[in-house]
Structure formats: structure tokens, C-alpha cells
Amino acid sequence: MTGQTKAWGMSLTGILESCALCPRKCGADRSSGEKGICGESSALRIARAARHDWEEPCISGERGSGAIFFSGCPLGCVFCQNREISRMGAGEEVSVERLREIIRELESSGVHNINLVTAGHFTPMVAEALEDGPDIPVVWNSSAFESIETLKMLEGKVQIYLPDLKYSDNALAERYSGAPLYFETAAAAILEMYRQRGPYVLDDNGIMKSGVIIRHLILPNAVQNSIGVLEWIARNFAPGEVMLSLMSQYVPCGDLRSFPEIGRRIDEEEYKAVEEKLYELGIEDGYLQDILSAEESYIPEFNLEGV
């Protein structure tokens, strides 16, 4: 971005000279090519741009979601299913103008929305690409490990927020993601997302037009972590305000020899304990994924062929 940003009041170069876009505030001089803790410099990089059919029904619908997967990630979960792009460097450099063209191409293909996956460390560039945004909703698909100041760059440009709320237990957040203050950070980010968009809105066909869907992935040996997430949602949101997507699709990925407790899929007992808490709290807006949904086939191939 060559001009000023409302949230930061400085040029893109100024923002990236000592990067503080994410909560880690690593201070890398990404403007000179140094890579931040996210693994990325100032070069905008994406690893896949295509129709995606495996999001929540109100996102994918019948025509799919136009998903753009961005390279790198500031969180770095040990069990990441997309580790090829989040940690292993997959992806290709594109200009802001090319990103804008890709968005238009996806829109013209007939998808329900534009789905920006893990783009937080490129927020200023993405915000510029969205200046003349598409006529379909833009989805911000993230880990929720984001700063409020950075999220404010997206106000008015993003219609749907699709954040994870991975942990209520910060000991697990530190162990698996190196983020000891994850819960407070993500909770504040989600409240900011809700402030921007308000109660969710679906069209007559059940496709989301605006709002927040909070995702939570149930981890093995972490039932209380999931219960804590559900309790926070129930305390902070009334029925009809946000949607919940409770996922059971955890599949062990990567080298988990140092984390044997998550080296398996969740079992029926864990699933039922979280399900019972969901019903006890009266959370009804959203989706509960069947325990049989844990399949590696949900993980897309990452390439830019045809883009």
C-alpha cells in the first residue's frame, strides 16, 4: 500500500520496517526482505486459489467458496494440516494487482464468496486489493491470533469473519502453538470481529451474507479445553448473534513424536463429552461435525496451476 492506513497512520514500508502486524510483534524488517516469525517478507505470496467445497454449508453452498490460501503463518501449530504452506514455504509471489485480478476471476466463476485463508500477516496488501471489492462477500478465514489494530484495517472490506478459537487453555496454546496468551488474544480479536459485523445474516438459501462463524477443533486428550471454548462463547454471545462450527476432523499431521498425546484422532467418549456440553449450554446456531469426518482428503493440494 503506497498511501496511509486508517489503523496505522503510516505507509506500508513503515509498517513492515519493524513488523507488529500480528500479536507476536516480532519486529522483523520485512520491508528489506527479512522474514518475520510468520516466515514471510513483504512479498505477497499465495499457494492456492480455486473453488473450495469443504467449508461450512453456509459458506460453500452449492457453488463453492473462492478460496485463496496465503503462504506463511505467525501461529505455527505443531499439528497444522496446512503445514506445507504455513511452515514449509510453498507458494508463489503475486502483486497486489494480480491478487485483485484473482479475486475478480474467482467471483466471475460463480462462487458464493471470496475466502481469504490465513492472510493476517499480509493485511495491508490484502486491504489494498479489496479497495474496489467484489460484489460477493469476503470471508476472513483465520486462527484469530490477530491484533485488533490490524483487524481494523479490514473494517468495511470483510463481510464474514471465520476465526478459529483453538484454545481456552493457554498451557495447551503454549505447548502446541508457542502462544501462551492465545486465549485472551483470540477472544479479543473475535469480539472485534463481531463489533465490525454484528449478528449473522443468511440469505433465503441459507448462504451467509454477513457475520461471524467461530470454529473450534476438538483435540485428543483436551476435552476441558473444548468445554472452556464453548463456555466462553455462551457467556459472550446470545442466540442469533454468532454461529459455531464444532469440528471433529482432527487428523495427526507432521512430526508429533514430542506430542504423543495428540498422535491420534479423537475418540467417541471425547466427542460425546463435548457434544453434551454444547447442548447443556444451549448453543444452537451453527454446525456439529460428525466424528467420522476426520479425513486427510479435506486437505487441499497447494499450487497455483491455472491461476
244-253 confidence digits (pLDDT tens): 999 999 999 9
Q: What is the pLDDT of residue 305?
A: 44
C-alpha 122/C-alpha 209 separation (Å) is 24
Which pLDDT band, with edges at 50, 70 and 90, does 142 fall under?
Answer: very high
Please tell me whether residue 6 adopts helix, strand or coil conformation. Answer: coil
- Residue with the bigger pLDDT between 63 and 5: it is 63
Residue 155 CB burial class (10 angstroms; 0-12, 13-18, ≥19): middle
Residue 121 CB burial class (10 angstroms; 0-12, 13-18, ≥19): buried
pLDDT tens digit sequence for 66-85:
999 999 999 999 999 887 78
pTM recorded for the entire structure: 0.92
Q: What is the mean pLDDT of the chain?
A: 92
Mean pLDDT value across residues 190-199: 98
Which pLDDT band, with edges at 50, 70 and 90, does 302 fall under?
Answer: very low
For the chain, give every domain's residue range.
43-298
Residue reference for cell 516469525: 37
Mean pLDDT value across residues 129-138: 96
Which of the residue ranges 3-17, 255-269, 278-292 would you say has the lowest mean pLDDT?
A: 3-17
Q: What is the pLDDT of residue 9?
A: 59
CB atoms within 10 A of CB 1: 20
pLDDT tens digit sequence for 9-21:
567 777 899 999 9
C-alpha 253/C-alpha 83 separation (Å) is 8
In this structure, which CATH number among 3.40.50.450, 3.20.20.70, 3.40.50.12780, 3.40.30.10 belongs to the domain 43-298? 3.20.20.70
Which pLDDT band, with edges at 50, 70 and 90, does 1 fall under?
Answer: very low
